């Protein structure tokens, strides 16, 4: 085979491999799928704009890469010393310098114009139809529907929380959507422009759902804005994208997009619960029965405390001390309340002041009476006690 045929074969092979990889990457448009290597196309207009910009840049880079490497390999092969090639004697060409300056400039300009338009569109929250306030905590999210008067906390679901512990009752492989499921998802309507107000209560978090096409930092004392208009009903999962502490990996995000009719029915159901007798209402300071406090406290403990202090309150060494038989749990009531409300400086014990008065009263009562801590029983904390401690 002569030199020209070898050269053509090499260039063609290089181009074919590059195009094959590019086609595979373009076809596999979701990194969550097996062997997925590309961005998700998403379900909002913003995500589709971002995906289009990504693919435009990808193809431009692919073409440039194929052309440059083909030229380099061809030059190395064609003008090698063994074939008698002699180095050129010139050292300057104004035309070449103008070309290799102007062409990249035009390419960058062609990318910059649509990219700038996309960024301006992403920041434009005008014309929104509803507002959701998102607040990040270590390690959960709070959602407030400012127009509907609904708010709740969203935490890692119980099965995932149990599966991630030492000697788990359930294996991670047996949990559907392990570490990507929550107890209370954010529910929103489709075809509605939603403005998100994002902030944090303690440290910097980052709210990120890939299918929405953006992520925003939630910063204490500062409010970021973003928006989304989801076009397809479905469930979309994300995570905190900022390293926010020990349990950073365990604060997922789940967004459930419903049709307008289903969303209105969900809103009516939530408002009915808020006005009913079974709701956890931070403004309700009336006394609760011991059984209700214990049931609510056990639920809060399983979701918030069990990962560190274990199911039986036995703890894990000095870092996560045992609660069963603890002097702090059985000691002064005011000091005991302050531990949950303020946390303990210099330790991993954080503040749980974000919980409602009823939830705190429940978990205080539960821990005080569980595992044989109170032999006499009946030592209760009421929501009014927690409100006074605040």
One digit per residue, pLDDT tens: the chain, 390 residues?
Answer: 455 555 555 555 555 555 545 444 444 445 556 666 787 888 999 999 999 999 989 999 999 999 999 999 998 888 888 888 888 777 788 888 999 899 999 999 989 998 999 999 999 999 999 999 999 988 889 999 998 888 888 989 888 888 887 667 788 888 899 999 998 999 999 999 999 999 998 899 999 999 999 999 999 999 999 999 999 999 999 999 999 888 899 999 999 999 999 999 999 988 776 544 334 455 577 788 888 888 888 888 877 787 678 778 888 777 778 888 888 778 778 888 888 887 777 676 777 777 788 888 888 888 888 887 775 666 888 888 888 877
Residue 275 pLDDT: 47
Question: How far is Cα 362 from Cα 292, in angstroms, rounded to an integer?
Answer: 8
Residue 34 pLDDT: 66
Residue 83 pLDDT: 81
Other Cβ atoms within 10 Å of 382 Cβ, number: 18
- Closest by alpha carbon to 319, among 338, 342, 347, 346? 347
End-to-end CA distance of the chain: 86
Our measurement of the distance from residue 165's CA atom to the centroid of its chain's CA atoms, rounded to an integer in Å, reads: 21
Q: Which two tokens stand for residue 31?
A: 């990194």
Q: Fill in the DSSP letter of residue 220.
A: B
Secondary structure of residue 205 in the 3-state scheme: strand
Match 């910009």 to its residue by tokens: 53
Residue 146 pLDDT: 92
Evaluate whether 289 touches 358 at the Cβ level (below 8 Å): no
Burial grade of 333 (CB within 10 A; 0-12, 13-18, 19 or more):
middle
Question: How far is Cα 274 from Cα 278, in angstroms, rounded to an integer?
Answer: 8
Other Cβ atoms within 10 Å of 86 Cβ, number: 7
Report residue 149: phi and psi, to 5°.
70, 30
Evaluate whether 293 touches 365 at the Cβ level (below 8 Å): yes
- Closest by alpha carbon to 332, among 381, 382, 383, 387? 381
Q: Which two tokens stand for residue 12?
A: 């063609």
Dihedral in degrees, nearest 10, Cα atoms 202, 208, 209, 211: 160
Q: Which strand (E) or helix (H) includes residue 238?
A: strand 234-240
Evaluate whether 113 touches 53 at the Cβ level (below 8 Å): no
Residue 9 pLDDT: 55
Question: How far is Cα 385 from Cα 288, in angstroms, rounded to an integer?
Answer: 12
Burial grade of 156 (CB within 10 A; 0-12, 13-18, 19 or more):
buried
How large is the angle between the packed helices 94-123 and 45-78, nearest 10 degrees? 160
Evaluate whether 46 touches 121 at the Cβ level (below 8 Å): yes
CA-based radius of gyration for the chain: 29
């Amino acid at each position: 085979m002569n030199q020209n045929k070898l050269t053509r074969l090499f260039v063609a092979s290089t181009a074919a491999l590059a195009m094959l990889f590019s086609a595979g990457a373009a076809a596999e448009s979701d990194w969550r799928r097996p062997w997925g290597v590309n961005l998700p196309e998403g379900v909002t207009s913003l995500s589709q704009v971002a995906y289009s910009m990504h693919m435009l840049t990808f193809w431009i880079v692919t073409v440039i890469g194929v052309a440059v490497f083909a030229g380099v390999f061809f030059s190395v092969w064609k003008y090698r010393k063994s074939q008698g090639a002699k180095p050129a004697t010139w050292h300057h060409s104004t035309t070449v310098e103008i070309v290799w300056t102007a062409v990249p400039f035009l390419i960058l300009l062609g990318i910059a114009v649509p990219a700038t338009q996309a960024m301006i569109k992403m920041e434009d929250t005008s014309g929104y139809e509803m507002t959701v306030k998102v607040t990040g905590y270590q390690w959960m999210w709070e959602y407030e529907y400012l127009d509907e008067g609904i708010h709740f906390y969203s935490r890692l679901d119980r099965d995932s929380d149990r599966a991630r512990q030492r000697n788990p009752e359930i294996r991670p492989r047996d949990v559907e959507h392990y570490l990507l499921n929550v107890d209370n998802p954010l529910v929103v309507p489709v075809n509605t422009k939603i403005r998100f107000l994002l902030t944090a209560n303690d440290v910097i978090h980052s709210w990120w759902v890939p299918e929405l096409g953006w992520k925003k930092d939630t910063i204490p004392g500062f409010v970021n804005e973003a928006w989304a208009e989801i076009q397809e009903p479905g469930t979309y999962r994300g995570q905190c994208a900022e390293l926010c502490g020990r349990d950073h990996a365990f604060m997922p995000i789940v967004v459930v997009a419903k049709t307008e009719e289903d969303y209105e029915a969900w809103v009516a159901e939530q408002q009915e619960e808020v006005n009913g007798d079974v709701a956890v209402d931070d403004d309700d300071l009336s006394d609760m029965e011991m059984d209700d406090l214990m049931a609510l406290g056990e639920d809060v403990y399983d979701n918030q405390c069990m990962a560190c202090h274990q199911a039986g309150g036995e703890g894990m060494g000095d870092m996560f001390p045992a609660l069963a038989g603890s002097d702090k749990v059985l000691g002064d009531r005011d000091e005991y309340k302050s531990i949950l409300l303020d946390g303990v400086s210099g330790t991993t014990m954080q503040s749980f002041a974000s919980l409602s008065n009823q939830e705190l009263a429940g978990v205080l009562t539960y821990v005080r009476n569980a595992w044989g801590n109170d032999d006499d029983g009946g030592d209760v904390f009421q929501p009014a006690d927690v409100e006074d401690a605040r």
